[in-house]
Structure 1
């Protein structure tokens, strides 16, 4: 019962009972205030939208604290500080880790799997969000990886077992050939060697079960869902295009890490890029196409739910998050 209703009813009581009713109302309000203790975590997180007849659910795996000053290249410290301050964020930047569940009506496809607990306690919450959204891991038919970096594929495996037992895992052959090659691992830096190890462990149970099927470049993987090559960040980095009834949503992985910087200055790269010039060129190419067509784009590291539009703005771009709407 609301406070206003209680007040109305109290006014209609006899003068003798009014003090008792008022005391009861004050006591109830005090108890309610005491019960509503603040909650410190924003998990689980999911957001549903439709692309034509295809349901897309953004799933939060949590966040990762990214040291922008150490990793971003092509921007001065002064300019970086100004960009971050203007966006009301600090360095390290708390960056969303998002995955996307695509329900075509015939197939349930998960795009990326989050960090699976290999980063810190702020990430690795994908399964909590998946279950809150009304789905179970054993319902997922296919998993499409944007690339084989830990915060995108480590959620595939837990204690040596497949988290998605029914699913076939797919990734670009160029990325698989690179990250699963022992010769490349031997030549890699210390931090990249960890990336190789996580990729090997995450995919091992799927490879053993015959559930890993790489693809080659652009192409339709399921009706309404296609791969789009965005090489540069890694040798086989991919995006995925969801299309239905004339509507389109491009789901990207690490095309962008720090929105406050890389939208207005898209030539800023990150130390994890395998080929920074190719990554820079692919970012502009993809952003131009999405902006010109006024279509939706979703990003693994854009603030959750990470879905919105891109608008050209001078030599860069401006991010316009999707307008919140209830799924119908």
Structure 2
């Protein structure tokens, strides 16, 4: 090893051999907070910054739809219980000519453990007014709630892009009135979050798979919601696919992609989209990112050795640019 490291190692060994007096620091309060939640990586020439909105505990054993015994066993194998502290992630893509945010987190719609995306965006060196466009995977509150701050547009200069199927569904008063009581809050949150952008003429919908910016493509993945969309980022032969909510509980759904969740608008197509996405990612070897993978939620997928399900391989941490 280098001479300096060898010297330090030897000194540490000698110090450890000596008995040291104990010290008490009982008056030091627990900090109970993490470092700012952002993680940066390059995809070709594009800089991608993952932004944490925080975490929220979900009763996943009740929400997931599949064999309860197998779901419980999968959770135990990952040292998880019936409730899982679930990440909510957004993705900021700097192409050099455009700053694009994919999903905005929950804002103030999900309680005090979420709503930190704006804070982490600033900690990462950006300002909300610098965001040129916002691409929404779907209009559930934990993806659009962060569009607002203090009742006004959090991103005053950003054009908001959403698949028309989702806006047609969630912005419809008729659909909200016809919805089950437990779903009405989903509609009201979506309408409150997106409404100010529509009123300002900053909401621009698209229909189906389409190119939105150089190197960024919307790809339809309908099922979780009527207009659920994933976003494909490509630069210099490298690729990152942002899955939105094609994955909620990694410990269960990578092993068995057929497991769905109560939040799905239509379970069958949601499951089919998940299976297709996992198969393609494992075959293509490209990077994937998801809103509810444990932060920072980016990595690769490979087929399991037994041919059943998939294994997620988190991206190796790098401090280099």
Tell me the TM-score normalized by structure 1: 0.88
CA-CA distance at 1:43 after TM superposition = 4.5
Does structure 2 conserve the Cα–Cα contact (< 8 Å) formed by 1:239 and 1:250?
yes
Mapped pair 1:226 → 2:217: yes
Match of 2:59 among 53, 60, 67: 67
The partner residue of 2:265 within 274, 283, 307 is 274
Q: Deviation at 1:327?
A: 3.6
Matched, 1:87 2:78: yes
> Would the alpha carbon gap of residues 248 and 36 (structure 1) be closer, same or farther in structure 2, given more than 3 Å must change?
farther
Does 2:194 correspond to 1:206?
A: no
Secondary structure in structure 2 of the residue aligned to 1:213: strand
Task: Name the CA shift for 1:35/1:141 in 2 (closer, same or farther; >3 Å).
Answer: farther
Aligned counterpart for 1:325 among listed residues 310, 318, 321: 318
Q: Which residue of 1 aligns with 2:251?
A: 260
Question: Secondary structure at the residue paired with 1:214?
Answer: strand
Q: Does 1:47 align with 2:39?
A: yes
Decide which of 120, 124, 135 is 1:144's aligned counterpart: 135
Map of 1:96 onto structure 2: 87
Query: How far is 1:30 from its partner?
Result: 5.7
2:174 is aligned with 1:183: yes
Give the superposed CA RMSD.
Answer: 1.9
Unaligned segments of structure 2, at least 5 residues: 1-6, 12-19
Structure 1 match to 2:17: none
TM-aligned CA deviation for residue 191 of structure 1: 2.2
Counterpart of 2:309 (choices 307, 313, 316) is 316
Closer/same/farther in 2, CA of residues 327 and 207 from structure 1, 3 Å limit:
farther
Q: Tell me the alpha carbon deviations over residues 44-78 of structure 1, each in whole angstroms, 9 at most, x when there is no partner.
A: 200000000000000000001111122110122x2
Answer with 1 or 2: which has the greater Rg: 1
Quote the offset at 1:35 in angstroms. Answer: 9.0
Question: How many residues in Structure 1 have an aligned counterpart in Structure 2?
Answer: 303
Find the aligned partners of 2:183 and 2:94 in 1 and give their Cα distance.
34
Decide whether the 8 Å contact of 1:43 with 1:129 is kept in 2: no
Partner of residue 125, structure 1 = 116
Identify the residue that residue 13 of structure 1 maps to in structure 2.
Answer: none
Q: Distance in 2 between matches of 1:80 and 1:282?
A: 20
